């Protein structure tokens, strides 16, 4: 019995020490355009970096589009042209989500909702 308790404890410690990043990561999502404007030139970058990577051509207002990519990180900034100006959604968590709904209000404020 004592051996079983030690084995269970060792397994728990080992799993606690396993880096979460190895188990996490972004693996594609559905982008939902709730901005009320057409989005074009959709791109993303890892939060804190400066390298934008194109991920989609566009999305009409109210439309959704599948975005396929894979990355070990979770936090990204998304960028798109919306009605003639560039909008950026900062710190979007793309891990363990099925869809990301992008919002943009008249003042230019951006926010994202997750499903």
What dotted CATH number matches 24-114?
A: 2.60.40.2890
Q: How many Å separate Cα 14 from the centre of its chain?
A: 28
Residue 11 pLDDT grade (very low, low, confident, very high; cuts 50, 70, 90): very low
The SS3 of residue 102 is: strand
For the chain, give the mean pLDDT. Answer: 84
Rg over CA atoms, the chain:
19
Q: pLDDT at position 69, please?
A: 85
What residues does each domain of the chain span?
Answer: 24-114
Please determine, for residue 89, whether its predicted confidence score (pLDDT) is greater than 90.
Answer: yes
| CA distance to 35, 48, 58, 81, 114, per residue, from 63 (Å) | 10, 29, 10, 15, 16
User: Tell me: the pLDDT tens digits for 28-41?
Assistant: 999 999 999 999 99
Q: What is the pTM of this model?
A: 0.77
Which of 28-67 are b and which e, b meaning 16 or more Cβ less than 10 Å from the residue's Cβ? ebebbbbbebbbeebbbebeeeeeeeebbeebeeeebbeb
Please determine, for residue 9, whether its predicted confidence score (pLDDT) is greater than 80.
Answer: no
Task: For the chain, give the percent of residues with pLDDT over 70.
Answer: 79
The span from the CA of 97 to the CA of 110, in Å, is 19
The span from the CA of 53 to the CA of 76, in Å, is 11
Q: Which two tokens stand for residue 56?
A: 């989609």
Q: pLDDT at position 63, please?
A: 97
Mean pLDDT on 69-92: 94
Pairwise pLDDT comparison (19 vs 40), residue with the higher score = 40
């Amino acid at each position: 019995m004592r051996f079983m308790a030690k084995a269970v404890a060792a397994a728990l410690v080992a799993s606690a020490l396993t880096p979460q990043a190895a188990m996490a990561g972004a693996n594609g999502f559905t982008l939902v355009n709730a901005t009320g404007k057409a989005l074009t030139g959709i791109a993303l970058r890892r939060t804190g970096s400066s390298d934008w990577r194109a991920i989609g051509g566009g999305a009409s207002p109210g439309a959704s589009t599948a975005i396929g990519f894979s990355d070990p990180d979770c936090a990204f900034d998304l960028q798109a042209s919306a009605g003639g100006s560039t909008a950026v959604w900062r710190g979007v968590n793309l891990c363990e989500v099925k869809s990301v709904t992008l919002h943009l209000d008249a003042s230019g404020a951006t926010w994202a909702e997750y499903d």
